[in-house]
Amino acid sequence: MSSITQPIGGHADVAGGHEHHPSGIMRWITTTNHKDIGTMYLWFSFTMFIVGGVFALTIRSELFEPGMQIVTPERFNQLITLHGLVMIFGALMPGAVGFANWMIPLQIGAPDMAFARMNNLSFWLLPPAAIMLLLGLFVPGGAPETGWTLYPPLSIQQGMGMDLTIFAIHIMGASSIMGSINIITTILNLRAPGMTLMKMPLFCWSWLITAYLLIAVMPVLAGAVTMLLTDRHFGTSFFNAAGGGDPVLFQHVFWFFGHPEVYIIILPAFGLISEVIPTFSRKPLFGYASMVYALCAIAILSFLVWAHHMFTVGLPAAGILFYMYATMMIAVPTGVKVFNWLATMWRGSITLEAPMLFALGFLFLFTTGGFTGLIVAIQPIDVQFQDTYYVVAHFHYVMVAGTLFAFFAATYYWLPKWTGHMYNETVAKWHFWGSFIFFNVAFFPMHFLGLAGMPRRIPDYAQQFTNWNQVSTVGAFGFGLSQLIFLYAVVSCIRGGKPAPAKPWDGATSLEWTLPSPAPYHSFPTPPVVQ
């Protein structure tokens, strides 16, 4: 464990025959070490998670009772937009890349990522993009009031906050593409001898597939927002009906990105859960090959279902039938994965440390979100549920209870490896129970609100929706405060604690505990000193 507790990072500077390693802030700015960059991704992700959470709690505070109390309707809609964009592009995606940076080289026995300097650049694109995104709140006209989907014609008419958002998305997309190229090259070229593709930990597989998805869809989103930009400023009419354009075309292009994006966020979570469950069941993962094929099937099918977000725009009946059945087909490989996780646990020697608790919470709540997804995949039902709180409940069960719970599980699982210390198990369990209980208090009532017909993205509502909204708001604040427990657990673990043994989880079967963990100061050999 000693190698990971030493300060690492920075570049090598040969002067007078010895290396100079930057310290302080320059160490982090110039680092090419995958562990440092992974750490920065994870802290950036958590920071944006808190920012997006503050937006969410402001939204829930406004919805505590009917009428306008806290913000104007315009500001409310801006917060809805920024909450979605910050959570997706600022919290969930960088968080997944952080785990990839930290663990993929260790799991495949690589000395570092393939393109170490590009790795540094792909991270440092994110903070200015995030600042640009949030600046929209402070410019004339404010941030976009469109929701994270940026639908025209409304997005064509918004102020300069919309332009800032478009540029921020471009920069974040460039960061994602560079990170994906790096991950694919690392996995395909830098595996240790004997590490065939079908021997890789499932987390590496999940990211190999995710990286291909990102490279396929991020340029599509870039094209969509660029067309939006030219509609706004250069007289084109791609989406402007007044000039002969088609607003529904934007929805097709956007959701061709947007639906694979859901799987870009959840597939790394599948990989993380596939690391945690075997370890705490003391059994190898059940059906490794079928898990790999299921990941591939989910990725391929994710490109064929985008128009299920558009069941109310007037698609032809044949199109509706295709998208309906294709959407239901995704339930098959997803069901395979859930079955394999359950089969891994079956008759295993299970212990319930914090990582396993979060993995079980993931399993239960993600499956719930999957069932409600099947329900809204049925077009006649979706017509009733479209743009109601039922849809909000569905995708938060997938995104928050899915991806976020997997992130928490993996963080507690790997913290001993990252820091050399054991975290406080009692504090971590408080974090789990606070998150699990308050998540359900916050989001389960939204199913009832949606069934009763309450539309989403509105700051005011009819009296009959008051009670469930109040329950939901209390749950949201409880969930938000629970994350402060997480912050305390992580910081106290970094600062000290019981030294971690070589195998923190007794009887662990996961591969990454037995692989060497090289910590180079840089990714390039030091040139010889000329005498």
Catalytic residue set = 83, 112, 148, 175-176, 259, 261, 263, 274, 308-309, 334, 337, 456
For 56-119, list the strands marked E by DSSP. Answer: none
- Distance CA(481)–CA(497), nearest Å, equals 24
* CA atoms of 48 and 404, how far apart (whole Å): 13
Q: For residue 22, which amino acid is it?
A: P
Q: Provide the 3-class DSSP secondary structure of residue 311.
A: coil
Report the candidate in 439, 453, 448, 451 with the shortest Cα–Cα distance to residue 467. 448
Interatomic CA distance for residues 490 and 428, integer angstroms: 9
CA distances from 157 to 18, 294, 300, 400 (A): 59, 43, 36, 32
Q: Helix 466-495 to helix 405-419 angle, to the nearest 10 degrees?
A: 10
Closest CA to 326 of 379, 372, 287, 280: 379
Q: How many CB atoms lie within 10 A of CB 196?
A: 7
Q: If you write DSSP's letter for every residue of 224-247 in order, what string do you get?
A: HHHHHHHHHHS---SS-GGGT--H
Please give the Cα distance from 401 to 391 (Å, whole number). Answer: 15
Q: How far apart are CA 409 and CA 59, in angstroms?
A: 28
Q: How far apart are CA 302 and CA 378, in angstroms?
A: 17
- The single residue listed with the structure tokens 């000395």 is 111
Residue 388, helix vs strand vs coil: strand
> Is residue 383 packed enough to be buried (19+ CB in 10 Å), middle (13-18) or exposed (0-12)?
exposed
Q: Which two tokens stand for residue 313?
A: 């725009």
